Structure 1
């Protein structure tokens, strides 16, 4: 289908596909997803961990040692821990965010869901999230998993990206359109 996301490819896609196959065969898809989400949250919270993950300066041994310590401290084990250790050993930690995103995409596809990236100016209440999910479900005909990010720079409104389609209903974009229109008139 034209609106679907492309088949996951590249290095991150290969790692994610292998992890998904292992998780599916061992019945641990949700557990692996939860552990990966917890790891992503740790990276987002710690500048030092983010630097370790992204920097090519650290050797494979240094990254692996540090990742093992972080995983033990966070209580992340099983397939997700082995996956993250393997990524560190193979010097692929820099791509772990893309691998996790690809894994989430594979899980969603297997469940007949689609995912939407939503950027809002302020955090949404539970009722607003439910309303947005319902609207997207009726528009796509599928259950929609939301990946919500907050960007105060939008001023108001939101942007929604599903596959290759993007809806920009942000106040920032509307103001820029007015500004351009005023320049053309003047």
Structure 2
């Protein structure tokens, strides 16, 4: 996620922490292919995009979000909206003392393993809870990798073999 998207998300969160309304309105914009292409097109002037946004019923009564979307459209940054949503959701979790963890493993862990991992990550990262996004990846050969708050842990067989290969290469070069 880009630093610019993160800054937009933090600014939006500081004035409008309503994650549900943001999700709803953003998905209306992104799910309509024609509308989304229009809003993202560099060939269409920002003022025209702002007029299109002002006519959308989903934004009625949501003046702050309408202004936010207008700003993105006028600055030619509407394509950042998916990243902004992700950063906004991360900030919501952070404010609740939570974090998102992307876990890749050969097989999905059972509830007891997941709970043990959750407790360890909460302790290490000083969080109240961790939300897992689990993905299976047979190329890991065994073990797992996980990413949480910009930190990557690699406890996979593939990672261990890569590390061993690097060590052997370093010894050979010495």
Note the residue ranges of structure 2 that are not aligned, 5 or more in a row: none
C-alpha separation in 1, matches of 2:97 and 2:72 = 28
Question: Which of 90-99 and 141-150 deviates more?
Answer: 141-150
C-alpha separation in 2, matches of 1:62 and 1:169 = 48
8 A contact 2:103–2:134 mirrored in 1: yes
Q: Which runs of 4+ in 1 moved over 4 A?
A: 55-58, 60-66, 77-81, 83-86, 181-186
C-alpha separation in 2, matches of 1:185 and 1:93 = 50
8 A contact 2:107–2:136 mirrored in 1: no
C-alpha separation in 2, matches of 1:147 and 1:64 = 40
8 A contact 1:52–1:63 mirrored in 2: no
Please, which of 110, 114, 124 is the counterpart of residue 108 of structure 2?
Answer: 124
Superposition pairs of residues 36-51 of structure 1, within 5 angstroms: 39=27
The superposition leaves residues 13-32 of structure 1 with CA deviations (integer Å, 9 ceiling, x where unpaired) of 342133213333xxxx3414
Quick check: 1:172 aligned with 2:158?
yes
C-alpha separation in 1, matches of 2:115 and 2:70 = 37
Superposition pairs of residues 75-86 of structure 1, within 5 angstroms: 78=62, 82=66, 83-84=68-69, 86=71
TM-score, with normalisation over the residues of structure 1? 0.56
Quick check: 1:18 aligned with 2:4?
no
8 A contact 2:145–2:153 mirrored in 1: yes
Aligned-residue CA RMSD (Å) = 4.6
Please, which of 125, 131, 135 is the counterpart of residue 120 of structure 2?
Answer: 135
Secondary structure at the residue paired with 2:16?
A: helix
How much does 1:138 deviate? 2.6
Quick check: 1:112 aligned with 2:105?
no
The superposition leaves residues 64-109 of structure 1 with CA deviations (integer Å, 9 ceiling, x where unpaired) of 969x98x96xxxx958963456533432123223322331232123
Please, which of 16, 20, 24 is the counterpart of residue 35 of structure 1?
Answer: 24
Task: Report the number of matched residues.
Answer: 162
Structure showing greater radius of gyration is: 2
